[in-house]
Amino acid sequence: MNTMKEVAGYLPGLAPTDLQWQTLRFDNRGERLEVAVPVLTEAQIAELATRVRAASRRVLQSMTVSDIVQVLDRAVARLLDTQDPYRQKAERLLPLVTGYDAEMVRLGLTGYLKTFRQPQLQRFLVEDFGNPLLLDAFQPRATGGFTRAYGAELSVHVWAGNVPGLPLWSLISSLLVKSGTVGKLASAEPLFAGWFAQLLVEVEPALADCLAVVWWKGGDEAQEKAFFRQADVVLAYGGNTSLEKMRDLVPITTRFLPHGHKLSLGMVSRQALDARQALKTAQLAAHDVMRYDQQGCYSPHLFYVERGGKISPEDFSRYLANELACFEQKYPRRELTLTETVSLAQWRQTEELKSVSVSGMDVSGEGGWTVVYCDALQELAPSGLDRTVRVVAVADLAQVIPLITPHRTLLQTVGLAAAPRELFALANLLGAAGVTRICAVGQMTAPQAGWHHDGRFSLLDLVQMVDIDASAEAASEAFASYVD
């Protein structure tokens, strides 16, 4: 077996020889990658945090937000360049680490990275702040006085999952608000964030001490306490149970921003089920299911499909199955672990016991994908993941609302195929039910720049607003040198 080696993370001021290292191994398609991840002592954690905090105050606060956007844009441009060494390394190693098809990773990276170019970042800033100059200096308020936004001197980010590049959302958000950042790598994908940090420093050496990328074993309370104790803000991704445990370790004076488990779904109106639209809609729905094997919170578990169109919901499920079969040929599903295989088999068996029809799976009946058609109403429930999805027939899409409302704390994205009048009527109902993002079918796994993640602000939640009251401005006039 061919073995490759890679060192993960980015640790300014700490010599590699002074660190302990642990090896994570990834085997895939006859190749092995050994990734060395750093394990820090409490003293090293404190030293690293002090360095990043000081650089945040010294370097980031002296840069304009426009300067930071330009640095990020240059770094992203390099990652979009297929001839760049970092991009080539990503295309070569990320499929090995995650198990995803190489072509899926290549196309996914390009689409994802385009979200962080300069025009998109400018929209991102305007979306949250209206006037991004709030991050550079005090700006006048319509009601009188002035306001400025200050990012935390040190934010700690706990990343999770194996979707390539996912940490960029929070890492870039943190840099945009001029916050020094320490990010914790996910063991399932420990490479991309460290590469991005190294690339940023190549593009702008002044940022060398403004960020760090670290690792600790998930659930290591001693390490988590040591990092959280240093932070002004803790931003964490993961399962709800692990987030509850983290919350208990975060000091009461530290802001904690958790992003836990979510459920997403699709809805297809009868208006999208004529002979011309149905096949295209099924193809777009299959893309949402296929991309990264439903590992994202925004991936659909279920599609509610309205009766009364020229194409029936059951026929739509067959179309969806056929499109997933095509995607399986083009972008094969990753190899599952033994635990994942057993879980998927149990899900399929449960679905069969419910007397619903399995309208598609690969010819072996074991791998690839599964579409289950349900003729009776069903509440929203998780699928078996890894390209498994239900299609549930409904007489009217409004019937979906009481089926999903009991899960309001878990709801995130709805992919909707509907006419304009239906779009806004359903959007009002979905928003009241707890849904935080509504997009086109086919775009569920590609949130646009500036989206309100889980209904919150990506940037505003990371800053503290400081006001100068109009009274202070007025009173200052009495002390001016030009007063008679």
CB within 8 Å of 429: residues ≥ 6 apart: 398, 401
Q: According to the model, what pLDDT value does residue 334 have? A: 92
For residues 120-135, average pLDDT: 95
Q: At residue 207, does pLDDT exceed 70?
A: yes
Mean pLDDT throughout 405-423? 97
Q: Is 362 a residue whose pLDDT tops 50?
A: no
- Which residues lie below 8 Å from residue 96, measured CB to CB, with a gap of 6+? 4, 26, 28, 29, 31, 33
Whether 397 shows a pLDDT value over 60: the answer reads yes
High-pLDDT (> 70) share of the chain, %: 97
Q: pTM score, two decimals?
A: 0.93
The per-residue pLDDT for 364 is 36
- pLDDT tens string 368-380: 899 999 999 999 9
What is 120-180 written as a DSSP string? HHHHHHHHHHSSGGGGTS-EE-TTSSEEEEEE-SEEEEE---SSTTTTHHHHHHHHHTT-E
User: Would you tell me the crossing angle of helices 192-203 and 85-98 to the nearest 10 degrees?
Assistant: 170
pLDDT confidence of residue 361: 47
Q: Would the pLDDT of 365 be above 70? A: no
Q: Do the bridges between strand 255-259 and strand 233-237 make them parallel or antiparallel, or are there none, so unpaired?
A: parallel
- For the stretch 315-347, pLDDT in tens is 999 999 999 999 999 999 999 999 999 999 899
**Beta carbons of 340 and 386 less than 8 angstroms apart:** yes
Q: In Å, what is the CA distance from 281 to each residue of 111, 239, 303, 339?
A: 20, 31, 11, 33
Give the residue-averaged pLDDT of 260-273.
Answer: 96
Q: How far apart, in whole angstroms, are the C-alpha atoms of residue 175 and residue 155?
A: 10
Q: What is the CA radius of gyration of the chain?
A: 24
Going along the chain from its start, the domains and CATH numbers come out as: 2-261+453-468 (3.40.605.10), 263-440 (3.40.309.10)
98 pLDDT above the threshold of 70 = yes
Q: What is the pLDDT, as a whole number, of residue 159?
A: 97
- Residue 101 is predicted with a pLDDT of 95
Mean pLDDT, the chain, integer: 94
In angstroms, the Cα distances linking 436 to 169, 174, 286, 302, 414 are 17, 22, 22, 17, 8
Residue 2, pLDDT > 90, answer no
- Residue 4: predicted pLDDT: 94
Percent residues over pLDDT 90 in the chain: 88
Average pLDDT over residues 427-445: 97
Residue 276 — pLDDT band, cuts 50, 70, 90? confident
User: What is the per-residue pLDDT across 3-31, written as a single tens digit (0 to 9) for each?
Assistant: 899 999 999 999 999 999 999 999 987 89
Report pLDDT for 355.
Answer: 54
